[in-house]
Amino acid sequence: MMNELEKLCLLDGISGDEGAVREYIIGRIGKKAEVTVDALGNVIVFCKGKNRAKNKVMVSAHMDEVGMIVTYINEDGTIKISPVGGIDPRVVFGRRVRIGSKGICGVIGGRAIHNLSADERKKSVPFDKMTVDIGTDSREQTEKLVSLGDSVRFVSEFVKFGDGFVKCKAIDDRAGCAVMLRMIDEGVECDTYFTFVVQEEIGLRGSGCAAYTVDPDYAIVLEATTAADIPPSEDDEKVCELGKGPVVSFMDRHTIYSKELYDLAFETAAENDLPCQTKTRIAGGNDAGAIHLSRGGIKTCAVSVPCRYLHSPSCVIKQEDFENTYALTKLILDRIYNK
């Protein structure tokens, strides 16, 4: 599963431009299941099980990653950008990026530090003060390579380090996609829908459409969620911690999760000697926010891999949490088919 994660993370697919990820996933699934693609670009997979279930169940993860988009080309050939998704500008300045379908290389920069005032040096550089340098010196030269609306993606390496740690861009949420691909490969006990959805990072847009189409009784959302378990964070400020297992949320800014499924997740983890934790702060959100409100309402839970430095070129997870997220999700799924 780790090799799968690497392949997925190194693909580029910001919100609204998930084509490369979608093509890879469709190719990977092949004839193992029935695959359809809706008008928004969601991949909806029906995996035939050995048995029929009492309940229709959907497992979902999003294909898109955060990034930027080209908004203007300056006279000197540099490019202005805006964020796509929630990106802290502090993780952007000085980064290498790829632009558009040609994969044009660039570096994000701005005014040199010795030209900043003392007050400006204390603040992160806002997006409207950043430019991308692609090595041209005129608007005409840049326009031959880049167009307005082109996607701008972080360049990142997939690196294993320390005691089972992994770093790359787009672990949010290619980790969830990798878990679902493994489940499809292995086959499922009962009929199951898997949805690889688009545009989560800009407002949970694809998942609502996919859930409306599938119309499940239960849904499991697979995610990566913020861990702040590094100094100077203490106690509840850590939110969740790497190495303590998958994260099952009780509430975030978009969803109050099914108490039935929340309790089921922790009971299942305890019965199978799997580590499991919850988020200690009500923050963030994920596709559950759109899914649980679809049609007449869907009982939904989220199972997430704890991740440091989320929405950056250097997301960090621990391999054991990733593997345990798969194990717990599979066990929960088996219990809700005929609940």
Q: Which residues form the catalytic set?
A: 200
| Residue 271 to residues 262, 332, 339, Cα–Cα distance (Å) | 14, 11, 17
- Phi, psi of 68, rounded to the nearest 5 degrees: -135, 175
Rounded Cα gap, residues 336 and 220, in angstroms? 10
DSSP three-state, residue 192: strand
Strands 67-73 and 79-84, bridge-based pairing: antiparallel
Strands 192-197 and 315-318, bridge-based pairing: unpaired
Q: How far is CA 62 from the centre of its chain?
A: 6
Angle of CA points 193, 333, 302, to nearest 5°: 85
Rounded Cα gap, residues 72 and 85, in angstroms? 19
Rounded Cα gap, residues 234 and 297, in angstroms? 37
Rounded Cα gap, residues 112 and 208, in angstroms? 44
Three-state SS string across 293-336, please? CCCCCCEEEEEEEEEECCCCCCEEEEHHHHHHHHHHHHHHHHHH
